[in-house]
Amino acid sequence: MLTPPPLSLYVHLPWCVRKCPYCDFNSHGTKGETPFADYIDGLIRDLEFDLPLVWGRTVQTIFFGGGTPSLFAPAFIDDFLQRASARIRIAPEAEVTLETNPGTVEHGPFKGYLAAGVNRLSFGVQSFDDGCLQRLGRIHSSGDVERAIASACDAGYENFNIDLMCALPDQDAAMACHDVERAMAFSPTHLSHYELTLEPNTAFAARPPEGLPSHDDAADIQDACHAMLRAGGFEHYETSAFAKPGQACRHNLNYWQFGDYLGIGAGAHAKITSGAEQHVLRRWKHKHPAMWMAHAGSAAAIGGDEVLKADRLAFDFMLNALRLQDGFPTALFTKRTGLPLTAIAPALSKAVDTGWLLADEARITPTPLGRRFLNDVLGLFI
């Protein structure tokens, strides 16, 4: 029996000052006037259109992702949150996160975001080394990062994440660890630590930067940084995510635990469980901002939707849940997919025999080997 899990709301804000050469997110450099107010109107129409999928349910977390959400002044975010909360119930204790590029915030706006109801920030820092920042094509310096985070803390923010990337061109383990040290000095509650990857259809994929560390060196860099984070009191709870005790990102955790989410804005994805229909639906919106805006509020804004069949459901569940360091309670598989555990029994026993997973009545957990070969583990569940 499928019962709807916790519900999140993802809001995509697609513009950036400039496209970074490594980035394959649905983000677009700003050209001319950015239609902020029209975009917010479009978000409200998009939300209204999706409401029948989630009648009566309460939003537990909201995430403004991008792109660069901090390009939107606090008044726009405030306007959106007020109009959204008149249309869907938002839990009073909801986690509300906004992604922030330190190059887009001058002293001041953080008080406005806080007053609007944004209670968590995520800073795209990437590195504190100005040479590395330049080679990544970032629009900010390490000085801008210092000022942005200090200003957010002055405004009253205590709950914030710092995104760092490692295995950067000509970076060694000492440099990457220095970045982690500088980040921890701000006392963030959360740190996301990503290895730079060359994503297809990016400028870096077409012309890789010189000096990228070898695969082995990149693994050593990661190990050194992870050890430092753990020593600094961070719990490694997901492939790339570290949090102080009790401060895991509730929004992302809901994805990884195969919860539900509405996705509004250009290219946003949704995953919704219907108790009445006993199915799980995925829906995604048109990627291009102008195209999405022209149609937001009607079916023409939908890029596609799909009811997940049993095999896809099982695979998607594993794809998310196995990213968690502690895995998942065995019962969660059936609770979220409506499938009996026997649906994955052959793959599960193969993964256990190979030493990739530990499985008992209570829990299924990836082993260190399983985490290292996660793609191979997932291959068993396709």
- Cβ contact 348:364 at 8 Å: yes
Q: Which does 199 bind (CB under 5 to 8 A by kind): ligand SAM, ligand SF4, none?
A: ligand SAM
* Binding of ligand SAM by 99 (CB under 6 A): yes
Cα distances from 217 to residues 132, 173, 176, in angstroms, run: 17, 8, 12
- Closest separation in Å from C-beta 176 to ligand SAM: 13
Under the binding rule (CB under 6 A), the answer on residue 187 touching ligand SAM is no
Is the Cβ of residue 7 or residue 164 nearer to ligand SAM in the bound state?
A: 164
Which residue sits closest to ligand SAM, CB atoms considered? 124
CB of 85 to ligand SAM, least distance (A): 24
Separation of alpha carbons 366 and 372, rounded Å: 9
Q: 127: closest CA among 218, 187, 196? A: 196
Q: Does 23 bind ligand SF4 (CB under 6 A)?
A: yes
Closest Cα to residue 178, out of 235, 138, 132, 213?
132
Which residue from 2, 7, 9, 20 is in contact with ligand SF4, where contact means CB under 6 A? 20
Beta carbon of residue 124, minimum distance to ligand SAM (angstroms, whole number): 2
Which H/E stretch holds residue 289? helix 289-295
User: Per CB under 6 A, which region of 22-30, 76-84, 150-158, 288-296 contacts ligand SAM?
Assistant: 22-30
- Residue pair 128/225 in contact (Cβ under 8 Å)? The answer is no
Q: Does 289 bind ligand SF4 (CB under 6 A)?
A: no
User: Which residues touch 326 (CB under 8 Å, ≥6 apart)?
Assistant: 237, 363, 365
Q: Is 124 in the site for ligand SF4 (CB under 6 A)?
A: yes
Q: x/- binding map, residues 126-155, to ligand SAM, per CB under 6 A?
A: x-----------------------------
CA distance 272 to 279: 8
Can you spell out the DSSP letters for 198-245? Answer: --TTSHHHHSPPTTPPPHHHHHHHHHHHHHHHHHTT-EEEETTEEEST
The residue length of the chain stands at 382
The span of 63-71, 263-271, 363-371, 372-380 binding ligand SF4 (CB under 6 A) equals 63-71
Q: Mark the segment that binds ligand SAM (CB under 6 A) among 28-36, 64-72, 273-281, 305-313.
A: 64-72
Residue 78 binds ligand SAM (CB under 6 A): no
Task: Give 53's DSSP letter.
Answer: G
Chain positions contacting ligand SAM, by CB under 6 A:
22-23, 25, 65-66, 68, 99, 101, 124, 126, 163, 165, 194, 196-197, 199
